[in-house]
Structure 1
Amino acid sequence: MSSTALTNKHTGKATEGTRLGWVDYARGLAILLVIFRHTMVGLRRSGIMVSDNLYYIQEFLLNVRMPVFFILSGVFLGRTLQKRSLRSIAANKTANLLYPYLVWSVILITFQIVLSNYTNSQRSWTDYKYILYQPRELDHMWYLLALFNTTMLFLVCYNALKRQPLLHFILAVVLYYFHYLVYDYSLVSDIMYNYVFLVFGVYMYERIARMENLDLKKLGLLFIITVPVFIAGQLFWLNHINDHYQPLRTIYLLPFLAIIFVASLVYYLVSRILYELQVAKFLAWIGKYSLYIYIVHVFVIAMVRVGFVKFLHIENQYVLILSSLVLGIIIPVLFHKLLVKLNIKYLFSFNKSGK
Structure 2
Amino acid sequence: MAGENATNVSKQRIGWIDAAKGLTIILVVMEHTTFGVQNAIGHLPLVFGAIAEFAKPFRMPLFFLVAGLFAYKALFGDWRKFVDGKIVHFAYFYVLWSVIQIGIKIIVPNQGAWTVTYVDLLMIPIQPFAVLWFIYALSLFFITLRLLRNARPFFIFLFAIALYFTRLDTGWMLIDEFAWRFVWFVAGVYGARQIFEIADWARAQPMKGVALALLLLACVASVVFSRLIDIRALELLMGFAGGAAAVMLVSVLAAKGFAGPLTFVGKHSLYIFLSFFLPMAATRILMVKLGFENGDLITLVATAMAVISPIIAYRLVEKTPLSFFYVRPDAFRLTGRKRTVRPDIVMAAGGD
TMscore range, shorter length: 0.7 to 0.9
Partners of 1:213 and 1:325 in 2: how far apart?
Answer: 31
Question: What's the offset of the Cα at 1:122?
Answer: 2.4
Q: SS at 2:11's partner residue?
A: strand
Contact 2:268 2:311 in 1 (8 A): yes
Partner of 1:255: 234
Partners of 1:155 and 1:275 in 2: how far apart?
Answer: 32
Structure 1 residues 120 and 215: CA distance shift in structure 2, 3 A: closer
Partners of 2:207 and 2:131 in 1: how far apart?
Answer: 34
Partners of 2:168 and 2:30 in 1: how far apart?
Answer: 30
Partner of 2:181: 194
Partner of 2:26: 32
Structure 1 residues 52 and 174: CA distance shift in structure 2, 3 A: same
Question: What's the offset of the Cα at 1:144?
Answer: 0.9
Partners of 1:41 and 1:106 in 2: how far apart?
Answer: 23
Instruction: State whether structure 2 residue 11 is matched by structure 1 residue 15.
Output: yes
Partners of 1:234 and 1:77 in 2: how far apart?
Answer: 31
Contact 1:94 1:148 in 2 (8 A): yes
Contact 1:86 1:155 in 2 (8 A): no
Match of 2:219 among 226, 229, 232: 232
Partner of 2:86: 93
Structure 1 residues 153 and 119: CA distance shift in structure 2, 3 A: same
Decide which moves more: 212-221 or 255-264: 212-221
Instruction: State whether structure 2 residue 182 is matched by structure 1 residue 204.
Output: no
Contact 1:96 1:348 in 2 (8 A): no
Partner of 1:105: 98
Partner of 1:276: 255
Contact 1:133 1:186 in 2 (8 A): no
Contact 1:71 1:202 in 2 (8 A): yes
Partner of 1:339: 317
Question: What's the offset of the Cα at 1:265?
Answer: 0.4
Decide which moves more: 193-202 or 321-330: 321-330
Q: Which amino acid aligns with 1:305?
A: R
Contact 1:300 1:324 in 2 (8 A): yes
Percent identity, aligned pairs only? 24
Unpaired segments ≥5 residues, structure 2: 331-336, 338-342, 344-351
Partner of 1:324: 302
Partner of 1:173: 161
How many residues matched? 331
Structure 1 residues 57 and 211: CA distance shift in structure 2, 3 A: closer
Q: SS at 1:323's partner residue?
A: helix
Partner of 1:77: 71
Question: What's the offset of the Cα at 1:351?
Answer: 5.0
Partners of 2:9 and 2:282 in 1: how far apart?
Answer: 39
Contact 2:34 2:45 in 1 (8 A): no
Contact 1:46 1:120 in 2 (8 A): no
Partners of 1:238 and 1:104 in 2: how far apart?
Answer: 35
Partners of 1:276 and 1:265 in 2: how far apart?
Answer: 17
Give the TM-score of the pair, scaled to structure 1: 0.84
Decide which moves more: 205-214 or 291-300: 205-214
Structure 1 residues 205 and 318: CA distance shift in structure 2, 3 A: same
Decide which moves more: 116-125 or 324-333: 116-125
Structure 1 residues 142 and 215: CA distance shift in structure 2, 3 A: closer
Contact 1:78 1:201 in 2 (8 A): no
Partners of 2:276 and 2:114 in 1: how far apart?
Answer: 16
- Once the two structures are superposed, residues 226-251 of structure 1 have per-residue CA deviations (whole angstroms, 9 ceiling, x without a partner) of 53344224432454468x5xxxxxxx
Unpaired segments ≥5 residues, structure 1: 1-5, 245-251
Contact 2:38 2:45 in 1 (8 A): no
Instruction: State whether structure 2 residue 32 is matched by structure 1 residue 41.
Output: no
Contact 2:65 2:187 in 1 (8 A): yes
Partners of 1:14 and 1:150 in 2: how far apart?
Answer: 28
Question: What's the offset of the Cα at 1:126?
Answer: 1.9
Structure 1 residues 117 and 254: CA distance shift in structure 2, 3 A: closer
Question: What's the offset of the Cα at 1:13?
Answer: 6.3
- Once the two structures are superposed, residues 196-233 of structure 1 have per-residue CA deviations (whole angstroms, 9 ceiling, x without a partner) of 11110011223334456436452431442353344224
Q: Which structure is higher in RCO with an 8 Å CA cutoff and minimum separation 6? A: 2
